[in-house]
Amino acid sequence: MLKRISIYLLPIFLMLSCYSIQKPEKPKHLISKKEMVNIILDLRLLASANGSNQKVLQDKGVYSEEYVFKKYKIDSLTFALSNNYYAYYVEDYDEIYTKVKDSLELLKKNLDALVIQEEDERRKTDSINNIRKRDSLDLIKNKDSIRMFKKTDSLLNIKLKNKIEPKLIQPVSDKAVQSP
């Protein structure tokens, strides 16, 4: 059993021992960590937008990587060499991606706050519009009830005018009462 395992493991160890990882050379135009954070952040944002509207963007001739490279005045080779260099140094690469992740989380929090704020404003305007509608409906109802009241009141006035009005009784003077 040990012979079988050693037969399989020996070639693997030999291949691994012959393989050497070369440290990448520092590129002439190494992109700074801060700029790498911004570039990767922009690439991630455009990649997410590109995922939902990729066909539309491509039809208009907008390609996310080309746009970002033009924005930062770099070419794809410079980015690839810098990315390869930072990837070899794991701590630096981890630091870059931690900043990218934190930036994306902060953007998400800000976006969520804006969505909540817009929802509150929409609710306020909806409630104000509903109150205005109710007020206008109440006003129409009130106008109708006032018109109805005026109509009934004017009908009563007409009926009262057609009735015989009682005449006032003249008081009898004291002289008239005394003279019989």
Q: Encode pLDDT of 5-20 as tens digits.
A: 777 777 776 666 666 6
Count of all residues that appear for the chain in the document: 180
| List of residues 6+ apart from 3 with CB closer than 8 A | none
Contact 36, 82 (CB under 8 A): yes
With a threshold of 0.75, does the pTM exceed it?
Answer: no
Q: Could you read off the pLDDT of 81-134 as tens digits, one per residue?
A: 999 999 888 899 999 999 999 999 998 899 899 999 888 888 888 777 777 666
Domain definitions of the chain by residue range: 24-158
CA 16 remoteness from chain centre? 52
Burial 13-45 (b: 16+ CB within 10 A, else e): eeeeeeeeeeeeeebeeebeeeebbbbbbbbee
| CA–CA gap between residue 101 and residue 96 (Å, rounded) | 9
